[in-house]
Amino acid sequence: MKLAIIGKPQCGKTTVFNAAAGQQEAVGDYSQALHRAVIKVPDKRVDRLAELVQPDKHTYAEIEFLDAPGFTGKGKESTGLKVTNELREMDALIMVIDAFSPEANPERFIGNLTDEMMLADLVVVENNIENKSRKLKLTGDKTLQMEIDLLQKCRASLEAEQPLLHLELEANEEKRMRNYQFLSKKPLLIMLNIAEDDLPNQDAIYQKYAHLIQPGKRELATLCGKIQMELATLSPEEQQAFFEDLGVTASAMDKVIQKSYALLGLISFLTTGKPDVRAWTIKYGTTAHKAAGVIHSDMERGFIRAEVTPYEDYIRYETIPALKAAGKTRLEGKDYIVQDGDVILFRFNV
């Protein structure tokens, strides 16, 4: 999963990046610097299975973070567009909003950033309408007309100042939309970066902006980036003690992971074996056939069946023979919808 942290200059992007990804990049230097990090998603299930199976290694799911340079200016002049190509490849965006400084005005900042994203998308929409219309005239290719109709729908939405995320689309349109990687179509996590003094008011601030939440499209979280960044350098035990003192309920990393998984409808399945115990991230609703492909394209191509054991049963019965004897391992076909925590052995033949 790839997540980009975006926001106005000096809103605390690098501070949040440091807190969520456990990094120690310089903050407050007006550098607009770009940073990257990969974190391992903490998963107790992987730890517990590794204790049982004693594999050579164990592997957590990973999240790639991009700390993107700030958005300034408008449309084509926006410095945010410098990284648009990379931004467009992200699975979701984390919009950091300054709610700590004297100039803080979350509602306006969220509006400004959303406008910037919509403007960037409008440029793409208009260029494509123009190109495709020209091609249609030349070739008479009817599929182009469908594409143009879809783009015109997008244009109408953007002109009405509606992010593309809210556009109602048919399944085949959703599929075609993916080619354009529109920014305002990306699931969004709004992170209100609050002042240290506001920590006790965290819940009230969250409630004030809760109307922005749209399940599966837009999520909201509050955090004090500055404190979280300082805490991120401590051990988990030390962190816990400070959290309680400060009234912090979860680490920035946990918040980002949990909210992003919910936003993107992600779950994890697990694989075990002597070489590796591993967690894999997929979208909820993925079939066993496609899940096999996440591991290796050969597994998808030569898929025979999936041997599925719920994690809780695996931990209870401990060994494969015991699980089989108790009838806890099921044989599932291609169309089985993988569930969170399924421990799966794929049988395949290529």
CB of 9 to ligand GTP, least distance (A): 4
Pairwise CA distance, residues 78 & 159, whole Å: 19
- Per CB under 6 A, contacts with ligand GTP among 76-95 are none
Q: 170 with 150: CB under 8 angstroms? A: no
Q: 295 with 250: CB under 8 angstroms? A: no
By a kind-dependent CB cut-off of 5 to 8 A, residue 341 interacts, out of ligand GTP, Mg ion, none, with none
Contacting range for ligand GTP; rule: CB under 6 A; set: 26-34, 123-131, 134-142, 251-259: 26-34
User: Which tokens go with 132?
Assistant: 């495709």
DSSP letter string, 32-76:
---EEEEEE---HHHHHHHHHH--SEEE--EEEEEEPPPP-SSGG
32 binding ligand GTP? (CB under 6 A): yes
The residue whose Cβ lies closest to ligand GTP is 28
- Per CB under 6 A, contacts with ligand GTP among 42-71 are 70
Quick one: DSSP state of residue 329? P
Identity of the residue, 73 or 285, whose beta carbon is nearer to Mg ion in the bound complex: 73
Tokens 């567009």, residue? 81
Residues forming the site for Mg ion (CB under 5 A): 13-14
| Burial class of residue 9, CB neighbours in 10 A (0-12, 13-18, 19+) | middle
Identity of the residue, 13 or 132, whose beta carbon is nearer to ligand GTP in the bound complex: 13
CA of residue 346 relative to chain centroid, distance: 26
- Per CB under 6 A, contacts with ligand GTP among 213-232 are 224-226
The CA-based diameter of the chain, rounded to the nearest angstrom, is 69
Q: CB within 8 A of 13, min separation 6: which ones?
A: 5, 6, 7, 67, 68, 70, 96
List the one residue from 1, 2, 9, 115 that touches ligand GTP (CB under 6 A).
Answer: 9
Contacting range for ligand GTP; rule: CB under 6 A; set: 3-11, 40-48, 78-86, 140-148: 3-11
- Per CB under 6 A, contacts with ligand GTP among 157-196 are 193, 195-196
Give the x/- contact pattern for ligand GTP in 91-120, rule: CB under 6 A: ---------x--------------------
Identity of the residue, 225 or 341, whose beta carbon is nearer to ligand GTP in the bound complex: 225
CB of 42 to ligand GTP, least distance (A): 23
Pairwise CA distance, residues 44 & 50, whole Å: 10
Identity of the residue, 96 or 257, whose beta carbon is nearer to ligand GTP in the bound complex: 96
**Interacting residue ranges for ligand GTP, rule: CB under 6 A:** 7, 9-15, 27-28, 30-33, 70, 100, 193, 195-196, 224-226
